[in-house]
Amino acid sequence: MRILVTGGTGHLGRDIVSLLKDQGHQVRVLARTPGQDPAVEWIQGDLATGRGITEAVSGTEVIVHAATFSPAARRGTIRPVDLVRSPPEVDIGGTRQLLGAAGQAGVAHFLYVSIVGVRHARVPYLRLKAAAEELVRQSGVPHSIVPSTQFYWLLDRMLGRMARLPVWPLPTKLPMQPADEGDFAAYVAGCVADGPGEDRQPFGGPDIMSFGEVAEQYQAARGLRRRILALPLPRAAARAAGDLTCPEGRRGTTTWAEWLSRHPPRPE
In angstroms, the CA 44 to CA 176 distance is 37
pLDDT for residue 81: 82
pLDDT class of 267 with cuts at 50, 70, 90: low
**pLDDT (0 to 100) of residue 175:** 92
> Across residues 209-223, what is the average pLDDT?
96
Within a domain: residue 6? yes
Distances from the Cα of 260 to the Cαs of 24, 38, 121, 214, in angstroms? 31, 31, 28, 11
Task: Identify whether 74 is part of a domain.
Answer: yes
* CA proximity to 37, closest of 57, 13, 72: 13
Q: Is position 267 within any domain?
A: no
* Rounded CA Rg of the chain: 19
Domain housing 210: 2-262
Q: Which secondary structure element, helix H or strand E, spans residue 113, and what is its range?
A: strand 109-115
Q: Is 106 exposed, middle or buried (0-12, 13-18, 19+ CB in 10 A)?
A: exposed
The predicted structure's pLDDT at residue 243? 83
Mean pLDDT across 243-255:
94
Provide the CATH number for the domain around residue 154. 3.40.50.720
d(CA 214, CA 218): 6
> What pLDDT score does 197 carry?
96
Q: Is the dihedral of CA 7, 12, 16, 22 positive or negative?
A: positive
What is the tens place of the pLDDT at every residue in 173-204? 999 999 999 999 999 999 999 999 999 999 99
| Cα 180 from Cα 260, distance rounded (Å) | 10
pTM: 0.93
Q: pLDDT, tens digit, for every residue of 81-139?
A: 877 889 899 999 999 999 999 999 999 999 999 999 998 888 899 999 999 999 999 99
Collapsed DSSP state (helix, strand, coil) of residue 244: coil
Is residue 203 situated within a structural domain? yes
Closest CA to 219 of 149, 165, 174, 150: 165
Q: Which pLDDT value is given to residue 141?
A: 98
Number of domains, the chain: 1
Helix, strand, coil distribution of the chain in percent, nearest 5: 40, 20, 40
In three-state secondary structure terms, 93 is helix
Per-residue pLDDT tens digits for 36-50: 899 999 999 999 999
Residue 243 lies in a domain: yes
Say how far apart CA 87 and CA 80 lie, in whole Å.
Answer: 14
Q: Is residue 268 part of a domain?
A: no
Model pLDDT, residue 166: 95
CA atoms within 13 A on the CB side of 131: 18
Q: Is the pLDDT of residue 76 over 80?
A: no
CA distance linking residue 206 with residue 210, whole number of Å: 13
Task: Provide the pLDDT confidence category of residue 242 given band limits of 50, 70 and 90.
Answer: low
Among 112, 249, 118, residue whose Cα is nearest residue 192: 112
Contact 173, 230 (CB under 8 A): yes
